[in-house]
Amino acid sequence: MKKISVLACCLFIYSQLCFSQGQGPPPPPGNHGSNDNQPLNGAPSGGGAPIGDGVWIMIALGVGGLLYSQRELLKIKKVK
């Protein structure tokens, strides 16, 4: 039974690796390579995506994870 479950697990991982290949990038826009080489619709470089709030959320999650792990380590040391 254990061999079957290991085999099934390996086949599942292999199938995920085989079928999770992404498709290629889209073709460049029509004015690509022109002398001005401006982005489409006057959008700023990077598409104008706001990343400021996302960075702070990621930092807060990282700090929270560090504090949680330190608390758990202190609990383990107190038990010993």
- The predicted-structure confidence for 15-66, as pLDDT tens digits, reads as follows 777 776 667 777 776 666 666 655 556 555 655 566 666 777 888 899 999 9
Q: How far apart are CA 16 and CA 79, in angstroms?
A: 42
Enter the tokens of residue 73. Answer: 């380590």
Predicted local distance difference test score (pLDDT) of residue 62: 92
Contacting residues for 45 by C-beta, under 8 A, at least 6 apart: 39
Look at 6 and 52; give whichever has higher pLDDT: 6
Predicted local distance difference test score (pLDDT) of residue 64: 92
Helices marked H in 32-51 — which ranges?
A: none
Q: How far apart are CA 73 and CA 80, in angstroms?
A: 11
Helices marked H in 1-80 — which ranges?
A: 2-19, 52-79
pTM of the predicted model as reported, rounded to 2 decimal places: 0.37
